[in-house]
Amino acid sequence: MDTPNPDLNLGMFKAYDIRTPAAQLPLALSERLAYAEAQYFREQLGADTVVLCRDARLSGARYLEQGIRIFRELGFTVLAAPQVTSTCQFYDACMRHPEAGGIMYGAPPNPGGDPGQRRLGPAGTRKPTGWGRR
């Protein structure tokens, strides 16, 4: 049995999103998270398309760029909105592409300086079956 990485803040994983102080999600850990999310979307949910966007947080652009790079590298069709996007716009984009999973980087209600995510499974499911700490 694998021992969890002590550097990973397991408390950041909530039912529908991720919430964590910026210092606890450096780019190296967010990269691991993006690879894990891609694997989950493909292997567990059967999605090869992903909607990626960000909110107005300063950290959003770098996490979005990282997500675009990783999902493309793994062969996903990436539908990305590089501009600042509202939560409603994110949900609308996901509903227009029901075959896609979706990630919004920097999701409310996190404090302004903290990164986070809002995630959707294909067909707009807020909490994909089996989603959790694995």
Count of the separate structural domains present in the chain: 1
- Reported as a pLDDT band with limits 50, 70 and 90, residue 2 is very low
- Is 10 inside a domain boundary? no
- Is 103 inside a domain boundary? yes
- Is 66 inside a domain boundary? yes
- Verify cis geometry, omega within 30 degrees of 0, for the bond prior to 109: yes
Asked if 98 contacts 8 with a C-beta cutoff of 8 angstroms, the reply is no
Domain of residue 98, residue span: 16-124
Lookup: tokens for 11: 């408390």
Which residue would you say has higher pLDDT here, 114 or 28? 28
- Is 7 inside a domain boundary? no
- Is 6 inside a domain boundary? no
Q: Rounded to whole angstroms, how far apart are CA atoms 91 and 86?
A: 9
For 1, 33, 46, 95, 116, the CA distances from 67, given in Å and listed in that order, are 29, 10, 18, 20, 13
Lookup: tokens for 55: 């909110």
Q: Rounded to whole angstroms, how far apart are CA atoms 23 and 20?
A: 8
47-81: pLDDT as tens digits: 999 999 998 887 888 899 999 999 999 999 999 99
pTM of the predicted structure, to 2 decimals: 0.82
Residue type at position 47: A
Lookup: tokens for 16: 């529908």
Please report where in the chains the tokens 């592409």 appear, as a residue: 97
Asked if 128 contacts 121 with a C-beta cutoff of 8 angstroms, the reply is yes
Mean model confidence pLDDT for the chain: 82
109: domain CATH number is 3.40.120.10
Asked if 129 contacts 34 with a C-beta cutoff of 8 angstroms, the reply is no
DSSP state of 51: E
